Amino acid sequence: MKKILQQLVPSVLLLISCQFCTAQKKNISGSKGLKDAYIADFLIGTALNTGQIEERNLKSNELIRQQFNAVTPENCMKAEHIHPEWDRYDFTLPDKLMAYSQKNNMKLNGHTLIWHSQLPRFAHRIQSVDSFRTFFESHINTVASRYSGKIFSWDVVNEALNEDGTLRKSVFLDKLGPDYIVEAFRLAEKASPKTELYYNDYNNEQPLKRAGCLELVKKVQAAGVRIDGVGIQGHWHLGKVPFAAIEESILAYHALGLKVMITELDIEVLPRKFQGADVNQRQASNPALNPYANGIPDSILAQQAKDYEELFRLFLKHRDKITRVTFWGVDDGQSWLNGWPVPGRTNFPLLFDRQLLPKPAYHAVMGLKK
Ligand code: 9MR
129: domain CATH number is 3.20.20.80
pLDDT at res. 275: 73
pLDDT at res. 30: 58
255 domain-assigned? yes
Q: How far is CA 101 from CA 32, 46, 83, 104, 152, in A?
A: 19, 12, 21, 5, 10
Pocket test for ligand 1, best of 46, 115, 279 (most atoms within 8 A of CB): 279
Q: How far apart are CA 330 and CA 334, in angstroms?
A: 7
Q: Is 342 in the pocket of ligand 1 (CB under 6 A)?
A: no
Dist. CA 157 → ligand 1 center (Å): 14
Q: Which atom of ligand 1 is nearest to the CA of 233?
A: 17
Dist. CA 47 → ligand 1 center (Å): 10
pLDDT at res. 158: 98
Confidence of residue 16 (pLDDT cuts 50, 70, 90): very low
Q: Is 46 in the pocket of ligand 1 (CB under 6 A)?
A: no
For 257, the 3-state DSSP assignment is coil
Over the stretch 287-301, which tens digit does the pLDDT of each residue have? Answer: 889 999 999 999 999
Dist. CA 233 → ligand 1 center (Å): 11
276 domain-assigned? no
pLDDT greater than 50 at residue 21? no
Single pTM value for the model: 0.91
Atom 1 of ligand 1, nearest CA residue: 336
Over the stretch 66-103, which tens digit does the pLDDT of each residue have? Answer: 999 999 999 999 999 999 999 999 999 999 999 999 99
pLDDT greater than 80 at residue 153? yes
More confident residue, 107 or 21: 107
Q: Is 277 in the pocket of ligand 1 (CB under 6 A)?
A: yes
For 170, the 3-state DSSP assignment is coil
Looking at the annotation, which residues are catalytic? 159, 264
Range of the domain at 76: 39-269+286-367
Total domains in the fold of the chain:
1
* β-strand partners of 193: none
28 domain-assigned? no
Average pLDDT over the chain reads: 92
pLDDT greater than 60 at residue 12? no
Q: Is 201 in the pocket of ligand 1 (CB under 6 A)?
A: no
DSSP 346: -
Dist. CA 241 → ligand 1 center (Å): 20
DSSP H or E segment with residue 319:
none
More confident residue, 210 or 7: 210
Q: How far apart are CA 347 and CA 273, in angstroms?
A: 16
pLDDT greater than 90 at residue 274? no
Q: How far apart are CA 109 and CA 97, in angstroms?
A: 10
pLDDT at res. 263: 99
Torsion of Cα atoms, 171 then 176 then 181 then 183, to 10°? -140
Mean predicted confidence (pLDDT) in 51-63? 98
Q: How far apart are CA 90 and CA 77, in angstroms?
A: 9
9 domain-assigned? no
Q: How far apart are CA 212 and CA 326, in angstroms?
A: 23
278 domain-assigned? no
Question: 129-146 vs 180-191: helix axis angle to the nearest 10?
Answer: 30
Give every CB contact of residue 5 below 8 A, 6+ residues apart in sequence. none
65 domain-assigned? yes
Mean predicted confidence (pLDDT) in 20-41? 65
Q: Is 75 in the pocket of ligand 1 (CB under 6 A)?
A: yes
For 355, the 3-state DSSP assignment is coil
Residue type, 40: A
Q: How far apart are CA 246 and CA 207, in angstroms?
A: 10
Atom 6 of ligand 1, nearest CA residue: 336
Q: Which atom of ligand 1 is nearest to the CA of 336?
A: 1
pLDDT greater than 50 at residue 20? no
pLDDT greater than 60 at residue 19? no
Give every CB contact of residue 25 below 8 A, 6+ residues apart in sequence. none
30 domain-assigned? no
Q: How far apart are CA 227 and CA 233, in angstroms?
A: 17
Question: 298-317 vs 360-367: helix axis angle to the nearest 10?
Answer: 30
Atom 14 of ligand 1, nearest CA residue: 74
Dist. CA 336 → ligand 1 center (Å): 7
Going through 235-329 in order, the beta strands assigned E by DSSP cover 235-237, 259-268, 322-327
Over the stretch 313-359, which tens digit does the pLDDT of each residue have? Answer: 999 999 999 999 999 999 999 999 999 999 999 999 999 999 999 99
Pocket test for ligand 1, best of 48, 50, 74 (most atoms within 8 A of CB): 74
Question: 180-191 vs 207-222: helix axis angle to the nearest 10?
Answer: 60
Q: Is 74 in the pocket of ligand 1 (CB under 6 A)?
A: yes
